[in-house]
Amino acid sequence: MADKGSGGSRLPLALPPASQGCSSGGSGSSAGGSGNPRPPRNLQGLLQMAITAGSQEPDPPPEPMSEERRQWLQEAMSAAFRGQREEVEQMKNCLRVLSQATPAMAGEAELATDQQEREGALELLADLCENMDNAADFCQLSGMHLLVGRYLEAGAAGLRWRAAQLIGTCSQNVAAIQEQVLGLGALRKLLRLLDRDSCDTVRVKALFAISCLVREQEAGLLQFLRLDGFSVLMRAMQQQVQKLKVKSAFLLQNLLVGHPEHKGTLCSMGMVQQLVALVRTEHSPFHEHVLGALCSLVTDFPQGVRECQEPELGLEELLRHRCQLLQQHEEYQEELEFCEKLLQTCFSSPTDDSMDR
């Protein structure tokens, strides 16, 4: 992957082997049978080494550190800081590639080479930014401004989906980066990509980035609501791309479980009726996630239950028929459990409950 950007003379970076430091960070923390372990390559590796050492049984009071041990420790710390500096330099080189203007009056071959270089830089950054320290450094280098301002709307689909993937990689589980990305207006652009882009890969990667910005992130979820994100999510579930449908339904289910206060908003949008309509389509593994979302929508929410009970939906008959189809298929047991839970929640009378007991 690191060689992708080396095809043209314009590329000002020599992409080093991935083993020089991406996300692992701890490759030097394991020891052989005897002797000192190899020094870690970056700060994350040094931290892992310290955690490992701290988890061992306490030793007797230490003896004065030997000169050999002192030298090894100095080398380990030096290697860790040197590895981190090397990765920052790689990111700077990648950003120089991405900041260049598209060559004017370029021929088809030159444009193809230029795009390959940019895609290679984005891929290397995605690998490096699996490390949270690198992701923070990338943002401090104004990398996120470049991604949101230029590459989410690039002409080439290969650049758009790699930019969306990199935004998600940097943002997941890091509140400070999520806030920066949201402040740059990325969520609006990502929702537009999910809703309208002609490339399926772009749409899937945009959904990944959206998920990283709204799950466990209150400010992101509020933006998502203001931008009518639930409607975009529903339209994504109605597409023919299986991966997009599954991931959209999974995100919807996750948001319902984590934020039940928005169930009323979803019911007012007709979400119950739309989910039931999806269950009526030709059976596929995607239905498990749709039924899971429907279960979340009715759990401890009487309005959702009442909407499921509307006779024109015919949901009770649909669920009973589905249960019969699934009972002999072990691979669909979770879907079967969702069907049974919906029947119990929405269509079970007190008499049924007492007979079951």
Name residue, tokens 């193809």. Answer: 112
Q: Are 120 and 1 in contact (CB under 8 A)?
A: yes
| Burial environment of residue 18 by CB neighbours within 10 A (0 to 12, 13 to 18, 19 or more) | middle
Task: Give me the residues of the chain with pLDDT under 70, please.
Answer: 1-63, 65, 69-84, 349-357
DSSP 310: -
Specify the pLDDT at position 41: 56
Q: What is the pLDDT of residues 288-327, one digit of tens each?
A: 999 999 999 999 999 999 999 999 999 999 999 999 999 8
Spatial neighbors of 235 by CB under 8 A, at least 6 apart, are: 195
323: enclosing H helix or E strand? helix 315-326
Specify the pLDDT at position 223: 96
Topology agreement, domain 84-98+110-227 and domain 232-347? yes
Helix ranges (DSSP H) in 100-199? 108-128, 132-140, 143-146, 157-171, 175-183, 186-196
Strand, coil or helix: what is 253? helix
Q: Which CATH code, of 3.40.50.10440, 3.40.50.620, 2.120.10.30, 1.25.10.10, is assigned to 84-98+110-227?
A: 1.25.10.10
pTM above 0.85, yes or no: no
Select from 161, 213, 169 the least CA-distant residue to 187. Answer: 213
Q: How far apart are CA 3 and CA 7, in angstroms?
A: 8
Fold of 232-347: Leucine-rich Repeat Variant (1.25.10)
Domain boundary assignment for the chain: 84-98+110-227, 232-347
Spatial neighbors of 334 by CB under 8 A, at least 6 apart, are: 288, 292
Q: What is the pLDDT of residues 244-297, one digit of tens each?
A: 999 999 999 999 999 999 999 999 999 999 999 999 999 988 999 999 999 999
**E strands, 296-343, where?**
none
Specify the pLDDT at position 86: 85
Specify the pLDDT at position 357: 37
Q: How far apart are the first and last CA of the chain?
A: 60
